[in-house]
Structure 1
Amino acid sequence: MRRSALLAAFTAFVALIATFGVRLNDADAAPTTFAHPGVLVSRAQLDFVKGRVNAGAQPWTAAFNQMTASRYASLSRTAKPRAVVECGSYSNPNNGCTDEREDAIAAYTDALAWYLTGNAAYAQKAIALMDAWSATITSHTNSNAPLQTGWAGSVWPRAAEIIKHTYGNWPNQGRFATMLRNVYLPVVIVGSSSNGNWELSMMEAAVGISVFLEDRASYDRAITRFKARAAAYLYIPADGSQPKYPPVGSVDTPSELINYWQGQSTFVAGLSQETCRDFTHTGYGISAISHIAETTRIQGEDLWPSVQERTRQALGFHTKFENGTAVPSSICGGSVVKGFGPVTEVAYNALAGRLGIAMTNTQQYTEARRPQGTNNLFVAWETLTHAGNPA
């Protein structure tokens, strides 16, 4: 009897939700209304940066000058689109791979330059680059195709969001949306069982594309996979005696997990699945985590609280060694391959800046390398966009 009454009450509640469009508070769910521009950087963040640059303040002015002096900001740049981009392991073969990534970074660079200067020539150049690719590309092939699609697919929506929602005069934006929907999204949304940085970059692309397309179903799917992969990529003691198993693939025994973690069998806070491979690929993964978390914050479904401990520990762990601390024998046999890259600004600003978390190692690393530029893959100009940005 009691169960029947409870069931009836629950059914009525569900009907009420359906009738009035009420949403339960689900941190994994897409926002009811997407915020634009809303991939990695918001309008409020861009306005803050514009004010700092106009005032000649540092480090933003140095970062702005670095960006506008780069080849990516050249107004004489000519797009190099291909119908089929073929990318093998370690860029062999490299048939359009560098061209695609760098044209995407150039479009994002031009979009930022447009917003910060008001010079419409930058907006028109960003549009020309995006139009050239949307009129041409049909697919990515060879072994690195998923990663390439993830890298380029992470950057295109950043540029497109700024241009569409702050410039507006873009006749072919519908064709660009079709490109993202048909060429990029089907590849990245399925994820990968390779090293974790692959799937994290692919989910970054899927989230950004979903925001641009206002595709709530794809956004939800990407966020669900992202949370599982991020938890399996960065270890914290709360996970237990070993890291979590990856969300896809055949790794499901302790010995397979150790092998997947590059032979590392001692797990300490902040260790990454790729730490003992090298810090560069680890940086890719951590960067993608920070980019996704930042986008969800802009969209009003903030995932920083769910990843802050893993991200804080991982940044502190890796920057400690980048800053000169000796690597103990228990970590990667006492030898690591450094080269973390320009990947700390977004998370450092979110965690230390907005949340007030002490991050001494990360602060030292970040401030010593300002302005952080681009890795020529999918990270670009994050001292400019995120250093000390309270918005």
Structure 2
Amino acid sequence: MRRTPLLAVVASLLTGVLAAPAAHSAPAAFAHPGVTVSGSQLDFARAQVQAGAQPWKSAFDQMKASKYADLNRTPKPRATVECGSYSNPNHGCTDEREDAIAAYTDALAWYITRDARYAQKAIQIMDAWSGTITAHTNSNAPLQTGWAGSSWPKAAEIIKYTYTGGWADQNRFSTMLRDVYLPVVIKGSNSNGNWELSMTEAAVGISVFLDDKASYDTAMARFRTRAAAYVYLASDGDLPKTVPGQNLNTRDKIVSYWQGQSTFVTGLTQETCRDLTHTGYGISAISHIAETSRIQGQDLYGTDVGERLRQALGFQSKYQLGTAVPDWLCGGSLKLGLGPVTEVGYNALHNRRGVAMTNTQTLTLANRPAGTDNLFVAWETLTHGDNPN
């Protein structure tokens, strides 16, 4: 493999570190519900389900039949959630993530059915945690905070702004997000890109729910930098962009950070050669943040964010569909398992903007109805599948 001349390496590194993302400012007034899914998107999904149209009806039936929509579910809050590497030890980690997904599931079920029992169940779950949790600990604490913190505001937005039956402890829930989650996720992470992207997704969503413009701006600025450093485009130069503070100041350090991959091609992500499951976490967070930004008035899909998302989805989808892995890519072997992460980006880029996405389209349609990854992705065929809003 030809080595890049030293001056080119230095120039590429400087470009990657110093290139500032475009300015982003919070809207004058936040749109609600406005975290990943908007009111008009919810209305469209509801209308399709009520009409028995596909794929939305089957997506709704899948969601309603899941354990997350069980009206007999008992939340399992803890004061301290302890999560080690790969959630070992797992003291409340799965319980917290799944209760947060359940609250969001119930909120969606409420909106589509108008059965108040689902809204009340979502409130019960959110109240149980807001009255209990005080901290996350151990090595996976930042990521755990990001995962659960991505689902909570999606649930709370729907309940707060569409359910009129009352939520007495709403302010306590806001305090939980402000005091337990936001201080952790707003700081970001210098770990693998999916960590910081998931944490940033949580920070963006929480900021919208709290109407916190300053935190929103901070999180969005970090997002633009991290997204650019997570997905490579040929226009980036010989080397991927980097994040300030990571000290990735040599080619060897960058190759090591990119899981030993030394050939950089458009659509490759920082974690492709780790596995497509973790790559999917990062891609999903990018799509969720871009969707929230669009709902809040700034459409990033027409910027480099959209191009990186399009290329990342297409590159990973191709191999997830069975294309042979060339020797130069990850030593000729990929660990598959992309997950249900394509609907939001595919809908935004292909359906709304008319961009060709052949591989992503094939995978998206094959995977419908997309379910949940049991971490922070849930029911996106229902909410975003071919949704024009």
- TM-score by length of structure 2 reads 0.93
Q: Which residue is 1:297 aligned to?
A: 294
Please give the alpha-carbon distance, in whole angstroms, between the structure 2 residues aligned to 1:27 and 1:128: 39
Please give the alpha-carbon distance, in whole angstroms, between the structure 2 residues aligned to 1:108 and 1:293: 19
- Identify the structure with bigger relative contact order (alpha carbons < 8 Å, sequence gap 6+): 2
Q: State whether residues 232 and 247 of structure 1, in contact with CA within 8 Å, keep that contact through their aligned partners in structure 2.
A: no
Q: Which residue is 1:378 aligned to?
A: 376
The correspondence for 1:127, drawn from 118, 123, 137, is: 123
Please give the alpha-carbon distance, in whole angstroms, between the structure 1 residues aligned to 2:228 and 2:368: 29
2:93 maps to amino acid? C
Task: Tell me the CA shift for residue 249 of structure 1.
Answer: 1.9
The correspondence for 2:157, drawn from 161, 186, 198, is: 161
The correspondence for 1:181, drawn from 178, 183, 200, is: 178
Q: For residues 100-119 of structure 1, what are the structure 2 equivalents within 5 Å?
A: 100-119=96-115
Q: For residues 1-391 of structure 1, what are the structure 2 equivalents within 5 Å?
A: 28-168=24-164, 169-306=166-303, 307-391=305-389
Task: Tell me the CA shift for residue 27 of structure 1.
Answer: 5.2
Q: How many residues align?
A: 366
Task: Provide structure 1 residue ranges, at least 5 long, that are not aligned to the other structure.
Answer: 1-25
Please give the alpha-carbon distance, in whole angstroms, between the structure 1 residues aligned to 2:155 and 2:272: 31
Q: State whether residues 88 and 144 of structure 1, in contact with CA within 8 Å, keep that contact through their aligned partners in structure 2.
A: yes
Please give the alpha-carbon distance, in whole angstroms, between the structure 2 residues aligned to 1:68 and 1:319: 28
Please give the alpha-carbon distance, in whole angstroms, between the structure 2 residues aligned to 1:336 and 1:203: 27
Please give the alpha-carbon distance, in whole angstroms, between the structure 1 residues aligned to 2:205 and 2:75: 22
Corresponding residue SS for 2:313: helix
Q: State whether residues 193 and 230 of structure 2, in contact with CA within 8 Å, keep that contact through their aligned partners in structure 1.
A: yes
Task: Tell me the CA shift for residue 304 of structure 1.
Answer: 1.7
Corresponding residue SS for 2:155: helix
Please give the alpha-carbon distance, in whole angstroms, between the structure 1 residues aligned to 2:307 and 2:77: 41
Corresponding residue SS for 1:280: helix
Corresponding residue SS for 1:36: coil
Please give the alpha-carbon distance, in whole angstroms, between the structure 2 residues aligned to 1:232 and 1:311: 12
Q: State whether residues 85 and 95 of structure 1, in contact with CA within 8 Å, keep that contact through their aligned partners in structure 2.
A: yes
Name the % identity.
71
Please give the alpha-carbon distance, in whole angstroms, between the structure 2 residues aligned to 1:27 and 1:61: 40
Q: State whether residues 77 and 133 of structure 2, in contact with CA within 8 Å, keep that contact through their aligned partners in structure 1.
A: yes
Please give the alpha-carbon distance, in whole angstroms, between the structure 1 residues aligned to 2:209 and 2:171: 11
Please give the alpha-carbon distance, in whole angstroms, between the structure 1 residues aligned to 2:307 and 2:370: 23
1:300 maps to amino acid? G
Please give the alpha-carbon distance, in whole angstroms, between the structure 2 residues aligned to 1:27 and 1:355: 23
Task: Tell me the CA shift for residue 308 of structure 1.
Answer: 1.2
Corresponding residue SS for 1:305: coil
* Greater radius of gyration (CA): 1
- TM-score by length of structure 1 reads 0.93
Task: Provide structure 2 residue ranges, at least 5 long, that are not aligned to the other structure.
Answer: 1-21
Q: State whether residues 349 and 387 of structure 1, in contact with CA within 8 Å, keep that contact through their aligned partners in structure 2.
A: yes
Corresponding residue SS for 2:266: coil
Q: State whether residues 301 and 307 of structure 2, in contact with CA within 8 Å, keep that contact through their aligned partners in structure 1.
A: no
Task: Tell me the CA shift for residue 246 of structure 1.
Answer: 2.3
Q: State whether residues 225 and 247 of structure 1, in contact with CA within 8 Å, keep that contact through their aligned partners in structure 2.
A: no
Q: State whether residues 23 and 221 of structure 2, in contact with CA within 8 Å, keep that contact through their aligned partners in structure 1.
A: no
Q: State whether residues 344 and 366 of structure 1, in contact with CA within 8 Å, keep that contact through their aligned partners in structure 2.
A: yes
Please give the alpha-carbon distance, in whole angstroms, between the structure 1 residues aligned to 2:37 and 2:306: 19
Instruction: Describe the superposition over 1:62-116 as per-residue Cα deviations: whole angstroms up to 9, x where unpaired.
Output: 0000000000000000010000000000110000000000000000000000000
Please give the alpha-carbon distance, in whole angstroms, between the structure 1 residues aligned to 2:46 and 2:132: 34
Please give the alpha-carbon distance, in whole angstroms, between the structure 2 residues aligned to 1:230 and 1:214: 24
Please give the alpha-carbon distance, in whole angstroms, between the structure 1 residues aligned to 2:83 and 2:240: 31
Instruction: Describe the superposition over 1:133-187 as per-residue Cα deviations: whole angstroms up to 9, x where unpaired.
Output: 0000000000000000000000000000000000041010000000000000000
Q: State whether residues 40 and 295 of structure 1, in contact with CA within 8 Å, keep that contact through their aligned partners in structure 2.
A: yes
Instruction: Describe the superposition over 1:1-29 as per-residue Cα deviations: whole angstroms up to 9, x where unpaired.
Output: xxxxxxxxxxxxxxxxxxxxxxxxx7511
CA RMSD between the two structures: 0.8
Please give the alpha-carbon distance, in whole angstroms, between the structure 1 residues aligned to 2:292 and 2:23: 13
